[in-house]
């Protein structure tokens, strides 16, 4: 009887051990499975995120390309559509600033007259009677060279033409410019900047020298003239 009891006890212990070990292995398996799933999910999420990021980058790139594409033709259209040109010569940038404002208001093309021999500070010294500008302005026959490529003016019906006042006159390089083109029936509108002098006879001198174009009376502006003031002038032309 005692042997039977011992055998039964041993069997019970064996069964319990087996049950516990099965349980443990199942728990390990579940943990491993969970870990695997977590890895897969995390990898998946990373993949999704990457894909989403790539999609975003792609769509941003597409959007950028689209924006560039949609801007470019507009610029081309603007360039090809406008029949207004703003021509400017500016030694120190003042008249150019005004020209840019006029071009923005008129949606016009801008053409800058660049001197073949740039004007240095010494050249521009009006306190020196022997400076280059003093000599040029004292001799009406001087025609300084132009470095900028010539422009096809045939598509324009209106040209603003701007310059600084030098010794009460247009710089001689403006004479070079107007004598180089046939303005036909184009409406020519002179404008200038100065320290204080008015536009004087410079507009009519340019008209006489060109011998063509439909010149109207021009106007002198301060370098800091506002866009509103320029718009008012343009609307009243």
Minimum distance of ligand FMN from residue 223's CB (angstroms): 5
Q: Are 203 and 217 in contact (CB under 8 A)?
A: yes
Pairing of the two strands 219-221 and 214-215: unpaired
Q: Are 174 and 88 in contact (CB under 8 A)?
A: no
Pairwise CA distance, residues 219 & 200, whole Å: 9
Minimum distance of ligand FMN from residue 210's CB (angstroms): 21
Q: In this complex, which beta carbon is closest to ligand FMN, that of residue 93 or of residue 184?
A: 93
Residue carrying the six token digits 């400076």? 131
Q: In this complex, which beta carbon is closest to ligand FMN, that of residue 184 or of residue 198?
A: 198
Minimum distance of ligand FMN from residue 96's CB (angstroms): 6
Q: In this complex, which beta carbon is closest to ligand FMN, that of residue 193 or of residue 210?
A: 193
What is the per-residue burial (b if ≥16 Cβ within 10 Å, else e) of 214-234?
Answer: ebeebbbbebebeeeebeebe
Q: In this complex, which beta carbon is closest to ligand FMN, that of residue 176 or of residue 193?
A: 193
Minimum distance of ligand FMN from residue 182's CB (angstroms): 26
Minimum distance of ligand FMN from residue 159's CB (angstroms): 18
Exposed/middle/buried for residue 132 (C-beta within 10 Å: 0-12, 13-18, 19+): middle
Minimum distance of ligand FMN from residue 82's CB (angstroms): 23
Q: In this complex, which beta carbon is closest to ligand FMN, that of residue 125 or of residue 212?
A: 125
What is the binding site for ligand FMN (CB under 6 A)?
90-96, 124, 126, 133, 164-168, 193-197, 223
Pairwise CA distance, residues 231 & 44, whole Å: 61
Q: What is the DSSP annotation of 151-182?
A: ---TT-SEEEEEEE-BTTB--HHHHHHHHT--
Q: In this complex, which beta carbon is closest to ligand FMN, that of residue 204 or of residue 214?
A: 204
């Amino acid at each position: 009887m005692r042997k039977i009891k011992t055998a039964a006890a041993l069997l019970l212990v064996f069964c319990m051990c087996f049950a516990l070990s099965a349980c443990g292995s199942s728990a390990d398996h579940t943990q491993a499975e969970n870990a695997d799933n977590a890895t897969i999910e995390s990898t998946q999420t990373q993949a999704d995120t990457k894909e989403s990021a790539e999609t975003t980058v792609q769509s941003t790139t597409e959007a950028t390309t689209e924006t560039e594409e949609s801007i470019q033709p507009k610029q081309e259209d603007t360039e090809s559509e406008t029949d207004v040109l703003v021509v400017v010569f500016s030694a120190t940038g003042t008249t150019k600033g005004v020209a840019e404002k006029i071009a923005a208001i008129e949606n016009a093309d801008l053409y800058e007259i660049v001197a073949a021999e740039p004007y240095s500070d010494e050249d521009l010294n009006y306190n020196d009677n022997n400076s280059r500008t003093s000599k040029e302005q004292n001799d009406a026959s001087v025609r300084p060279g132009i470095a900028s490529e010539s422009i096809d003016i045939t598509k324009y019906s209106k040209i603003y033409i701007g310059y600084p006042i030098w010794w009460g006159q247009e710089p001689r390089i403006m004479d070079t410019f107007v004598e180089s083109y046939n303005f036909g029936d184009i409406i020519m509108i002179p404008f200038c900047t100065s320290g204080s002098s008015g536009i004087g006879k410079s507009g009519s001198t340019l008209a006489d020298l060109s011998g063509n174009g439909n010149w109207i009376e021009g106007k002198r502006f301060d370098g800091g003239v506002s866009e509103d003031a320029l718009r008012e002038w343009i609307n009243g032309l």
